[in-house]
Amino acid sequence: MQIYRCELTLLERTFFSSREVGNFYQTEPFIGNYALCYALGLVASPYHNRGQIHYAEHLTALNEQGVYLTPASIVGQPRFAIEQFNAMPDSYWFAMGNNALITKPDGWDAEQRGSAWYLRERATGASRKVRTMNRPQIGSIKLLGIGNRAIFHLFSSDALQLPSYIRLGKWMSKARLTAEKVTFQTIREESAHLRQLINPLDLPAGAVLQTFDLLSVHPVPLLRNAVISGSFYRLKDGTLLPVGMRFGVEGLSANG
């Protein structure tokens, strides 16, 4: 078993839509372990995607390879930035439709029929319906600022060569990655206090959760300040990590 202590340094503002309140889109101060799998190139997302979710398929492959990694916890006090955005068109004429912004090219007219909008070409009379888009037009974004550092741990049956730089989040923001292979010993603890974030689906069957704080985010709520009984790897810096963690794809399948 190889255990790597990995540290990320954000070199650009980084956005994940962790929570949406009205037109305010918030990034919580962590990086999920599913996102890290794709960012590190451990699994590859399809170039074309029609809204399908492949977590169970991709994470099962990592389980079979003996690879697992934890969510990344921000070191110290997280730094945030807040930006506003406005995706309204600059055209002379536009209209707000049902989840759509309607603009009309030269030589076309726009008309509303019920809740739907249609564009009609004057020369031919041909018309087409304006498709709805699940895309916000105006709002504010709270994102992780430059310089934030985050720690996660990677387990692997074999030695891995990890990249020095990766891209994260919806904006594919750049981050520097350093990884150090660490020594560890296996111990038994009855009430171990884990300060780092834990994905509850990934805990082994022998781990007993006593208390925890719940960070309610998608696709899986995370645990922080968890007190757990079971077997642990104790790293040289004193960090405790449950033995036998793996991606809980069974839970993902059950939840669709």
> Do the beta carbons of residue 228 and residue 242 sit within 8 Å?
yes
Average pLDDT over residues 198-213: 95
Tell me which amino acid residue 119 is: L
Q: Is the pLDDT of residue 256 over 50?
A: no
Q: Is the pLDDT of residue 91 over 70?
A: no
What is the band of 136 on the pLDDT scale with cuts at 50, 70, 90?
low
| Residue 102: CB atoms within 10 Å | 18
- Give the pLDDT score at 255: 44
| pLDDT digit string, tens, across residues 109-121 | 888 888 788 888 8
Average pLDDT over residues 167-194: 95
- Give the pLDDT score at 162: 94
For the entire predicted model, the pTM comes to 0.80
All structural domains of the chain = 2-84+140-254 (3.30.70), 88-135 (no CATH)
Pick from 198, 237, 232, 228: which is nearest to 214 by CA? Answer: 198
Q: Is the pLDDT of residue 16 over 70?
A: yes
Among 28-32, 53-57, 175-179, 233-237, name the one with the lowest average pLDDT: 53-57
Give the bridge partners for 113, in sequence order.
116
CA distance 116 to 129: 7
Tell me which amino acid residue 12 is: E
How far CA 203 is from CA of 53, 68, 70, in Å, comes to 22, 11, 11
- Give the pLDDT score at 9: 98
CA distance 65 to 19: 32
| pLDDT digit string, tens, across residues 35-77 | 999 999 998 876 666 667 788 889 999 999 999 999 999 999 9
Q: Is the pLDDT of residue 92 over 50?
A: yes
Strands (E), 93-215: 94-97, 100-103, 108-113, 116-121, 127-129, 138-144, 149-156, 165-168, 173-181, 184-194, 208-215
What is the band of 176 on the pLDDT scale with cuts at 50, 70, 90?
very high
CA distance 232 to 189: 7
